[in-house]
Structures are given as C-alpha cells and as structure tokens.
Amino acid sequence: MDTLEYLTKEVQKFCEDRDWDQFHGPKDLAIGLSTESNELLDLFRFKSEEQMGEMMDRDTARERISEELADVFFFLLRFSQMYEFDLKDSLLAKIEKNGEKYPVDKVKGKNLKYTELKTTTE
C-alpha cells in the first residue's frame, strides 16, 4: 500500500470510528477544506516577507503552520475517499493540462495567468 492510500485509510478509519460519515457530504467537506485553508492563510495575513521568513525559522510558528496544513490535507483526503476521487490521477492529469496551458518557453520565470500569455502569432 502506498503512502497516499495508507493515509486515506487512516482518515477513513478515524472518521468511521466516530460515525462522522453522516456529516461529510460534499458541501460540508468542501466547506471544511476552505475553512482550514483560510486558517492557514490567516497565519500569514498582514505579515511582511521578512516576518514570514522569521515565522519559518520559529518552531512554534512552524508547528501552527504544520497543524493547518494537516487539517487541509485531512479534508482533502476525506473528500477524495468519500467520493472516490483518485488524487494521484487527478494531480497528474491536472499537471498535464497545465503543461499545455503554461508551456515552459512562454512562462519560465513569469507568474502570468495563461489568459495573459501572448500567442506565438502576436
């Protein structure tokens, strides 16, 4: 069993042991994912680049960040488990799709959205 499958089964067991399937509809899990993502974002709100760099060097700040990352990962794994999304396949397909939208020769070193890229005919 690979790591992702193992972790997904651990999340599933954790939730099923607590009879939480009833609370984990797609909307509820999407809300949970968004909520936890925003809790991660809140740790960085109003911080300068320097302050964020300092956070990355402090154990207490890293622990808080790690906990929020784990919460996001938990909800992502739970959603994929409950509704049978293969995260590996989804990610690989998205990378391929983004590779077409963001060709290296046009985006290397740039942070433009694909709609902002100039075509080769322009």
Task: Determine the topology of domain 3-85 in CATH.
Answer: Helix Hairpins (1.10.287)
The total of other beta-carbon atoms located within 10 Å of residue 41's CB is: 10
* Main-chain phi, psi angles of 27, to 5 degrees: -65, -45
The parts of the chain modelled with pLDDT lower than 70 are 119-122
The pLDDT of residue 1 is 79
* Main-chain phi, psi angles of 2, to 5 degrees: -80, 170
Rounded Cα distance between 83 and 18, Å, is 19
Report residue 41 as tokens: 């974002």
The pLDDT of residue 120 is 46
Rounded Cα distance between 7 and 3, Å, is 6
Rounded Cα distance between 6 and 24, Å, is 20
Domain spans, the chain: 3-85, 86-122
pTM of the prediction?
A: 0.88
